[in-house]
Each structure stands twice: as structure tokens, then as C-alpha cells.
Amino acid sequence: MTAIDEPGAAADPSLDGPAVGVIVVAAGSGTRLGAGIPKAFVSLAGSTVLEHALAPVFRLRDAVQVVVVVPADRVGEAEAIGRRAAGKAADHLRVAVGGDTRQSSVLAGLAALWPGVRTVLVHDAARALTPTEQFERVIDAAARTGWGVVPGLPVTDTIKRVDAGDLVEQTVDRAALRAVQTPQAFPRDGLVAAFRVAEDRLAAATDDAALYADAGHPVLTVAGSEAAFKITTPWDAQRAERLLVDRDREREVGARPTTSIRTGIGIDVHAFTDDGELSLAGLSWPGERPLAGHSDGDAVAHAIVDAVLSAAGLGDIGSMFGTDDPRFAGASGAVFLRAAVERLHAAGFVVVNVAVQLVGNRPRFAPRRTEAEGVLSGLVHGPVSIAATTTDALGFTGRGEGVTAIATALIERR
């Protein structure tokens, strides 16, 4: 690790610049993305990941200094991208050469800050869709408390602690857990001191807040955003591009609604098969004939996905996941529901309620209606009601060949 420069070393001599600096770390190789170039320079919806990451920074209400940390062979390209993103604020932009580790790259960013910067935000360029509001929240909380501040989301999955042999040792209480994002804000002097402590201890950490906390400083969490996910794998990049394309399309056609309430309808049909176990309405049904499908065939879950996506104008389950994608072979309906609702939230909507009509002779649904409604309500973060009916032996459902699910969703812009 390189030695830490004093605040302001190798920086602009002016003391009249902004009090807040944003270090955008874009020096990673992006191996897991598999694009053959550093991920910050991969194109998404016509612009690079880096340009998307810089756009919300330059929309902040108050001016900030921005330092972009990149590989040595990408400095010229980063400067051009930064100038496009910064516009009239280009004089507040600097590009620094990163190191072999995240910590050495952040150190390079710290060394490039102007002397007047007192609060530092460290942000991953890979979180390219992070909204400006998240930067503002972090800056405001840091100014109010003088502490380190990190944005985070509540953990929704059940978390297990396992031993070296992958045997479960403990179920962790997720109420006390947060999935941490960036930007992370710190008092500049405290962050520099924390890096010195880490150097002395030869310590490493997965984020800057860990080093800051290890040095004895308090760190506060504030609300994060579903849109601030990290682009790491090809699936993440595909998801980000879809969100960007949908956002641009909405702007082009003026699709932003005059009302905050929107509705959507989804229909799904699956035939029974003889191989496997029935999954329906988020539940397993031992002893019942399963439904055929590339995934688990959960017609109720799939209909809800189409309903919420259509309500927000975000496409459908086929365009979002692909019926021939091997990653979703046998996937449960919960996987699709979580992803659809995450995309819904990223577009600025929440579910008001969902109503489903299930049509079929089997299984007998009434005894488990309440259980199914509870599971699905938890997945969509809104109330779900399900009604079930038969067709008096008419049609393919009446003959017991399969089921149909029809869902309607009511959503509201946040």
C-alpha cells in the first residue's frame, strides 16, 4: 500500500473550493463481468458505466469536487467521460490513477482532493444507477452528525451462519442487518487517520466504513435505494441496461403519468405434468400433480409478476427473464416476484394491492388461502388477495388438465 499523503498533498492549492469531495472508485478490472475491459468503461444503454455513475453526482444541489480513480491506461478516456458528465462543472473534476487494491485506489483519491474539502464521500462507479437523493441523504447526515455515514437496505432473506463444512450453526437475526451500499461519507481527517491505522495493522476491509469503524469512529446508517445495486455480473449489467432503456423510453414518449395510481393485468396458464412437486401461489403442495414450465410453473406468482410490470410499463416476465435462460430453470416464483418488485421500486412505484383469480379443479385452495396470501404479500410488499373457482367441468381447467391465474395489480408512484 502506498504511503498516505497529508490532506491536500498534490492537490489544487486553492482553498476556496467546495467543502465536500466525492471520490468515485473506477479502477477495478471487472473480471466477473466478463467484458474484457474494466467495468467502468463498459457501455450500458449508449453510455459508459462511469458516465452513468457521474451523472447523479453532478446533479447535487451544492457544488462538490469530484475525483475519479481509474487504471493508468484509462486516464485520457476517463477525463473525456468526466467532462461530458460534468458540463459546466468540469473544473471541479480530477482524474487520479488507482492502485492494485481498493484501499490504494481510495488513497489516490484522497491525495487528489483540494485542501478545502472537509467531508469525503467514497462511491463505487459500479453502483451506476444510484440516485442523487441518496448522495444528498448521506451528505446531510454527515453534516448533521459529524460521523461516518453509510446507506443500507434491510436484509430480507433468511441468513444462516455455517461452519467450514457448510453445516448450519445458527440462524442470524436479520432485523439487525443491513446490506450496505455507497456513497459512504466521512470527515476527511478521520478517514485519513483510519487509513493510517489500517496501514499500521496491515488491515484490509471490503468497504471504507469498516476501516473507519475499526479506528474507533461511529458510523451511522441511512436509507439506501434498490436502484443502487452493484453491477458485478453479466446479469447485473443486463438488469441495469433494461432499467436505463425503460427510463429513457418513458422520457421520450412522455409516459410519466399525471396521476400516481396505475393498474396492470397479468395472465398465466400452465398444464399439469407428472414429474416433480406442485408449486403454486408461493407454496409447495405435496401429493399434488405439478405444473409444467421452464421454471417451477407457479401460475399465480407469474401472473402477479406480469401484472405489476405491466402496471408500471416495465414489460413482462418473458422480456425480463427469458423463458429459455438456463439460470431460471426450475426457479421458484419467489425469485421472479422479488426481482419484479425490486425493478418496480427502482422505477419509483410501490404495490398498493394485488388481486388474483385462480381457475382450476386442483388443488383444493381454500384450506391454504390465508397462508398463500401471507407469503405473496411479503414478497410484493403489499396486500395480496386470492379467489379460487372452477369452471364446472368446462374447458381444459374443468377437465383437470391445468390451471389459469389472472392477476390485477394496483401500484402507486412514491
The reply, when asked if residue 345 is annotated as ligand binding, is: no
The reply, when asked if residue 396 is annotated as ligand binding, is: yes
DSSP code per residue over 256-298 = --SSSEEEEEEEEEEEB-SSS-EEETTEEETTSPPBPSSS---
The reply, when asked if residue 61 is annotated as ligand binding, is: no
The reply, when asked if residue 302 is annotated as ligand binding, is: yes
Residue in 402, 367, 370 with CA at minimum distance from that of residue 383: 370
The reply, when asked if residue 268 is annotated as ligand binding, is: yes
The reply, when asked if residue 152 is annotated as ligand binding, is: no
Helix (H, G, I), strand (E, B) or coil at 19: coil
The reply, when asked if residue 391 is annotated as ligand binding, is: yes
Helix 333-346 vs helix 369-380: crossing angle, to nearest 10 = 40
The residues, any chain, with a CB within 8 Å of residue 289's CB and separated by 6 or more, are: 272, 273, 274, 278, 362
Grid cell at residue 146: 459529524
Grid cell at residue 43: 457501455
Contact 24, 68 (CB under 8 A): yes
Helix (H, G, I), strand (E, B) or coil at 386: strand
Helix (H, G, I), strand (E, B) or coil at 226: helix
Grid cell at residue 193: 487517520
The reply, when asked if residue 316 is annotated as ligand binding, is: yes
- Quick one: how far is CA 220 from the chain centroid? 20
Contact 337, 376 (CB under 8 A): yes
Contact 82, 90 (CB under 8 A): yes
DSSP 382: S
Element (H, E) at 24: strand 20-25
How far apart CA 98 and CA 25 sit, in angstroms, is: 8
How far apart CA 261 and CA 258 sit, in angstroms, is: 9
**Burial level of 55, CB count in 10 A (0-12/13-18/19+)?**
middle
- CA-atom Rg of the chain in angstroms: 25
The reply, when asked if residue 294 is annotated as ligand binding, is: yes
Element (H, E) at 153: strand 148-154
Binding-site annotation: residue ranges for a divalent metal cation: 268, 270, 302
Q: Residues within the annotated binding site?
A: 268-270, 294-295, 302, 316-318, 389-392, 396, 399
